[in-house]
Chains A and B, each alone.
Chain A
Amino acid sequence: MSRTNKIFFSLILVVGLYIAFLPNKFSQASFLNFLGKDNSNEIDQNETFDLQAFSKIPVLRGGRVKPLDSVARNILLVLRNKRTALRVLEQWENEKLELIQSLKKEGNELTEEQSKFLKNYSKNRKTTTPQGGIEVAVTEVDAIDWLAQVLFAPEKADKLKTFLIDHDQVLGLVNQKLLDNGKFFSYEELEPFLSNIDSSARKAGEVETELRDSFQQNIIELYRSLLIYKKLKHSLSPPTTPDRPEVLEQLGVTDLVYSEEKDRARSDEYVRFRKLTAELAKDSSVVQLGSEEFARVVFFVDRYNQANLWTEFLPIPPIIAEGDGKWMKVTESLVGSEPLESRQKQNMDPARFALTLRELLSLEKTELKERIAYIRENQKLDPSALFATQYAEAIKVKEGVDPVIIQYEELAFAYRDQNFSKFNRLVNEIYELTTTRAGSTASTLSFEKTFNGFEPFYRSAIAYVLIFIVASFSWLMAAFKKDSGTVRTLRNSAYYLTIIVLICHTFGLAARMWIEGRPPVTNLYSSALFIGWASVLLCLGTEKYIRLGIASAMGALIGFSSLVIAHSLSLDSSLNPTGDTMEMMRAVLDSNFWLATHVVIITIGYSTTFLAGFLGIAYIFFHIGCTISNKSENKMKKTLDSMIYGITCFSLLFSLVGTILGGIWADQSWGRFWGWDAKENGALLIVIWNALLLHARFSGIAKTRGLACIAIFGNVVTAWSWFGTNMLGVGLHSYGFMDKAFDYLMMFIISQLIIIGLAYIFPIIWKFLFKPKDKKLDNIDTLPDYDSLD
């Protein structure tokens, strides 16, 4: 290796390391953060909110205990398809910024306050967005910053641009134009149109999912986004029902309900409610219809039951003494939840309800708990008894107000008062308390938070582009400059770069497995991650022996595409309604053994088939290139031929074994080995196609070009069974109707068919146009191989 080459080689590797692991512009965390280096130590505890610490607090959403950081990111992903919100800068901010920047330019010394302002501002990425036809400066607000504002200072959050609307008719509905106001909107901007959105979405909801047009789908998505946002706002501070004063007066609860003037916090109301229930618990004789005391309790239980519906995550960790591991909503911790749907109350017999409740309240607490469990188990068809159990629970089982509620309220005060040290102290207290109560489920929280910021798949995707460029460059060098040293250096750099990126990609997969406690593939999103990973791994193995840069380039291409596909899948609202790509598994899929065997093996089958297909594409382009430059393709042809063949052998192995294992799983869970379900058929198509390729080669029907084309068509078959079958919306395997993806799938299929077409037509046209005198061209196989199959 020459000196320049050596320098170049090391430079490439450093860039690779920078993209894959080191602190950079692409992500918030680097591998240093995993080693215990915490950003929070850097900030002054008395001068800013320690949002990093805040983001680690555990809550339950989507059936999984996760840090607030994940909640914030996932929800923003649903609302805005990004992991940040946007804040339009105020006039004075813009002016001040300009002033400071001009001062700095002129070389003036900045005051401490000024430099802090500049630092704070430049921390986040700035862009512009159209507002009323003119571009205005906006700054990105981190997910956790946004969440803190939504929870503690909603009036501020309502001004942040949080909602993505990019459908022209939906924009029309909210009286906006894409050109004038962009596609991101704040809650404040949408508020005047809520009733319009609501009625349109309701109408659209009446149409069957498969038959909805794009407006209907988009309006429903917007409606859901707004609902999530509203629920999120109320997750820590339940809505207060807008009861009319005379109703409250009549019930005698005017002094009991929360009032902004008199009370400091909502928990004052909860404390008063607890007093009411404590009295009832002592003297159950007043439990009867028409009694004033009881009517008040009924009022509050109803109020809290209503509030139970308005929450996006469950903030109250399980009570250790209960030992049931049950997370709760704020109001749920006061009154529990309704055992049946509310409308079932119509079927209640009021007299028997009161009788049962009195009976229950006369029991001792431990006895009462047993009795409640008994009734819920054995009297499922008796609404009177069931609703009585909720009241008994609210009155006698639940005690006091959960300290976590009060701490969160204090946290909100500290946030609004900009009391940094108090906020940071409370954050630590809440973290301690909630993680202790959450127990082992909270063990991965801190890691998950750092993992979120590390964004290994985003880093990998960027690095794959670099690999592709380096590898392609090596071919260019090989074709035009016969400088074998440089070519070798480039290929080696691509190879070692692949190793670096693969470590990053592997780390991402392994981290997800650790957080979820599951094998790597659990849903469509993770299948995309895994397909990319397996392909790159296989390419690395191939490149180790055949250092031509082809496997590196194709691996990088597949790795990059699969990560982009994964990202778009995470944005698909039908596949991923909560924005969390680590969702819980449905009962029938909840089997780590089968997920680890069938799903992983079949996914490897997908990736190897894709790899063979992409090698086929590489060959076709090489073939065309040779035709144009009128060169012999002998050695390369042989190599690619054997690569396609070897990898297809793997494909057949994995897809066949995976499919058979799938059959065995189906036999275990649905009682039939094979049910001709769409997804099963898709997998079978891949098996047959791979078998067909091998047999076509054995029989000599297909030579290299035919083989390459069969392999390329394998891409079509695999794409079909990976996505197309999900779009059919039939069968047990279909997990969502994806219509947006349909166009992309079609484009992909057409592109593959065009390449196959080119492989056969291009040489003929070229020959016809230029009639090269060199006889060598005839060596390139012109056998009617692939065509003879149909």
Chain B
Amino acid sequence: MNNKKNKSSLSQRRRDFNFLLPLASLRLTIALLSLSMILIFVATLEQVRIGIRGALAEYFESFYGIWYYPEKFWGGEILQDIPLPIPGGYLLGGLLIINLTAAYIVRFQWTLKKGGIQLIHLGIILLLIGQLTTQAIQEESRMQINKGEKSNYIERFHGVELVIRDVTDPAQEKVITVPQELLQKGGSHSDKAMPFTINVLHFGVNCDFDFATAEKPRSPMAEIVNRGVGQSANLNLTPKEEDFSSDALNFGYIIFELLDKGQSFGKWMSISHPAGNQVWSQISPKLSDMGFQSIRHNGKLWGVALRQEREYLPFSIELLDIENEFYQGTEIPYNFESDINLHLEDNQTRRALVYMNTPLRHGGKTFYQYQMNDSANYSVFQVISNPSWLVPYIACVLVSIGMLWQFSLHLIRFLRKNSQTPQKA
């Protein structure tokens, strides 16, 4: 009786939403799954060539990617020139969500017996949505703290900003930042708090740099720099494509001109170190001012720098101690641990330990032990803000329950009838 009612509810739904029927087709599901296999396989292979971030941008975070057969493989000489379009992650992910949702409406029986199947697919939809949103909104940053010191900002792994600080009065520092999007557009930028305008002459996300010599003079681009570190260190600079590999170092650069009432008073160069501008002094003493190039103008002291994009936090972290242990007589790391004080917004302090598999979650951000330098006494956290981090957990619970449900039903039947073919679902 009940069953009949359910069946009729399904046919009712089928009538109401008959336009969804082709979208809910199992054949479409199978086609999409097969295409996903190709996408994932190709993108994995491509990681060797362009790195994980490159593969992400080309294949997973796009609607389609173009793949060339690798030259090193069999028959590569002939096949490498043929461009092969590969459906991208957004396309397949989106279609799968549509396919699943449609199946939900016009194909699934909403009965207890099929409850497992429904839960599994609901979990899968959640996983897909969760991943799509994560790809779109997740941000990765780093926070480096020296032992005994405090930090209240995080720096993006990728993305830079130009910062201009008025430090005339140390008590009242004024800070103006120009984000990467504006720098990329080029042109002039001005601000009320700033008596001059900035004219961006060259900007890029990655470059090679070295000290120019008599044999190898500065390139025309670097030659125009006549103030600051670029001039004093006689720096040469060559723009470079952004490197997407996982351990890449991208040095963002800028060459800009400062103008007061249309009158230029110098051209500067600034490079951002991906590990933070404090590293410059270790590379060469000549470059130690890269993080703060001072400019005196109309009796005021200014400092400019291109740096990794920063985000200031309403709380700060103090590094009390670090521990870096290895198994005896080996170079296998055993433990990385940072002992920290979390200084909260309301002036309260909380002690915490951050170590492998145990991140610190606070203020919508998660701090993971990322790198550590025992002899130089600093620790680096990877900081991730991903508002949808809970979604996979929920999905996981749904899928597990659904699977247990469905497969225990099957198992019982399988054991009962053992050699007989189970019913078609």
Residues on the A chain within 8 Å of B140, using CB:
671
Interchain CB contact (< 8 A) of A638 among B48, B246, B357, B421: B421
Whether A656 lies near B393 (C-beta < 8 A) is no
Whether A657 lies near B403 (C-beta < 8 A) is yes
With A61-B329, A682-B44, A789-B34 as given contacts, are A588 and B356 in contact (CB-CB < 8 Å)?
yes
A63 to B41, CA, bound (A): 37
Looking at chain A's contact residues, is the secondary structure mostly helix, strand, loop, or mixed? helix
Proximity bits, A632-650, B CB within 8 Å = 1, else 0: 0000001101100110011
Task: List B311-356 residues whose CB lies under 8 Å from chain A.
Answer: 326-330, 332-336, 355-356
Stretch from A423-431, A502-510, A728-736 that touches the partner: A728-736
With A642-B420, A673-B130, A695-B33 as given contacts, are A664 and B392 in contact (CB-CB < 8 Å)?
yes
Question: Does residue A773 face the partner (Cβ distance < 8 Å to B)?
Answer: no
Whether A671 lies near B366 (C-beta < 8 A) is yes
Q: Determine how close the nearest CB of chain A comes to the CB of B280; give it in whole angstroms.
A: 19
For A542, the closest partner residue in chain B by CB is B418
Residues on the A chain within 8 Å of B355, using CB:
587
Stretch from B2-10, B187-195, B291-299, B372-380 that touches the partner: B372-380
**New A-B pairs, 14, CB < 8 Å, besides A380-B377, A669-B368, A681-B43:** A60-B329, A381-B377, A586-B333, A587-B333, A590-B356, A591-B357, A638-B420, A638-B421, A663-B396, A664-B396, A676-B47, A728-B45, A730-B246, A789-B31
Question: Does residue A790 face the partner (Cβ distance < 8 Å to B)?
Answer: yes
Residues on the A chain within 8 Å of B26, using CB:
695, 698-699, 701
Proximity bits, A297-331, B CB within 8 Å = 1, else 0: 00000000000000001100000000000110000
Task: List A101-155 residues whose CB lies under 8 Å from chain B.
Answer: none
For B358, the closest partner residue in chain A by CB is A668
Whether A587 lies near B389 (C-beta < 8 A) is no
Residues on the B chain within 8 Å of A675, using CB:
52
A661 to B336, CA, bound (A): 23
Q: Which residues of B contact A (CB under 8 A)?
A: 26-27, 29-31, 33-34, 36-37, 40-41, 43-45, 47-48, 51-52, 55-56, 60, 127, 130-131, 134, 138, 140, 246, 326-330, 332-336, 355-359, 366, 368, 374-377, 382, 384, 386, 389, 392-393, 395-396, 399-400, 403, 407, 410, 414-415, 418-422, 424-425
For A311, the closest partner residue in chain B by CB is B329
Whether A327 lies near B329 (C-beta < 8 A) is yes
Interchain CB contact (< 8 A) of A688 among B37, B326, B333, B357: B37
A326 to B29, CA, bound (A): 59
Interface centre among B333, B335, B355 (most CB of A within 10 A): B333
Whether B384 lies near A649 (C-beta < 8 A) is no
With A639-B419, A790-B34 as given contacts, are A676 and B60 in contact (CB-CB < 8 Å)?
yes
Residues on the A chain within 8 Å of B399, using CB:
656-657, 660
Q: Determine how close the nearest CB of chain A comes to the CB of B281; give it in whole angstroms.
A: 14
Whether B30 lies near A701 (C-beta < 8 A) is yes
Whether B332 lies near A671 (C-beta < 8 A) is no
Residues on the B chain within 8 Å of A63, using CB:
326-330, 332, 334
Whether A381 lies near B43 (C-beta < 8 A) is no
Residues on the A chain within 8 Å of B328, using CB:
60, 63, 314, 326-327
Residues on the B chain within 8 Å of A676, using CB:
43-44, 47, 52, 55-56, 60
A327 to B425, CA, bound (A): 62
Interchain CB contact (< 8 A) of A701 among B27, B138, B374, B400: B27
A660 to B126, CA, bound (A): 12
Q: What 7 A-B pairs have minimum CB-CB distances, sorted nearest first?
A: A63-B327, A699-B26, A671-B384, A545-B418, A63-B330, A692-B33, A587-B333
Contact size range, A? 35 or more
Whether B375 lies near A381 (C-beta < 8 A) is yes
Whether A685 lies near B329 (C-beta < 8 A) is no
With A545-B419, A584-B330 as given contacts, are A660 and B47 in contact (CB-CB < 8 Å)?
no
Interface centre among B30, B56, B333 (most CB of A within 10 A): B30
A63 to B330, CA, bound (A): 6
For B413, the closest partner residue in chain A by CB is A646
A674 to B392, CA, bound (A): 10
For A663, the closest partner residue in chain B by CB is B392
Q: Determine how close the nearest CB of chain B comes to the CB of A344; give it in whole angstroms.
A: 10
Question: Does residue A765 face the partner (Cβ distance < 8 Å to B)?
Answer: no
Residues on the A chain within 8 Å of B327, using CB:
62-64, 584
Question: Does residue A478 face the partner (Cβ distance < 8 Å to B)?
Answer: no
Whether A731 lies near B33 (C-beta < 8 A) is no
Interchain CB contact (< 8 A) of A728 among B47, B330, B368: B47
Q: Determine how close the nearest CB of chain A comes to the CB of B240; give it in whole angstroms.
A: 21
Task: List A545-582 residues whose CB lies under 8 Å from chain B.
Answer: 545-546
Whether B357 lies near A671 (C-beta < 8 A) is no
List 21 A-B pairs, Cβ < 8 Å.
A64-B327, A313-B329, A314-B328, A380-B377, A546-B419, A584-B332, A586-B332, A587-B335, A590-B357, A638-B419, A645-B421, A649-B410, A660-B400, A672-B384, A674-B134, A674-B392, A676-B44, A697-B424, A730-B48, A789-B30, A789-B34
Interchain CB contact (< 8 A) of A667 among B246, B333, B389: B389
A700 to B414, CA, bound (A): 20
Interchain CB contact (< 8 A) of A685 among B41, B56, B330: B41
Residues on the B chain within 8 Å of A682, using CB:
44
Whether B396 lies near A661 (C-beta < 8 A) is yes
A184 to B333, CA, bound (A): 35
Residues on the A chain within 8 Å of B358, using CB:
668
Whether B400 lies near A657 (C-beta < 8 A) is yes
Whether A668 lies near B357 (C-beta < 8 A) is yes
A676 to B88, CA, bound (A): 13
A62 to B384, CA, bound (A): 35
A725 to B41, CA, bound (A): 10
Q: Determine how close the nearest CB of chain A comes to the CB of B306; give it in whole angstroms.
A: 26
Residues on the B chain within 8 Å of A731, using CB:
47, 52, 246
For B44, the closest partner residue in chain A by CB is A681
Proximity bits, A54-83, B CB within 8 Å = 1, else 0: 000000111110000000000000000000
Q: Determine how close the nearest CB of chain B comes to the CB of A745; give it in whole angstroms.
A: 14
Whether A691 lies near B421 (C-beta < 8 A) is no
Whether B52 lies near A677 (C-beta < 8 A) is yes
For B421, the closest partner residue in chain A by CB is A642
Question: Does residue A537 face the partner (Cβ distance < 8 Å to B)?
Answer: no
Residues on the A chain within 8 Å of B422, using CB:
642, 645-646
A681 to B376, CA, bound (A): 37
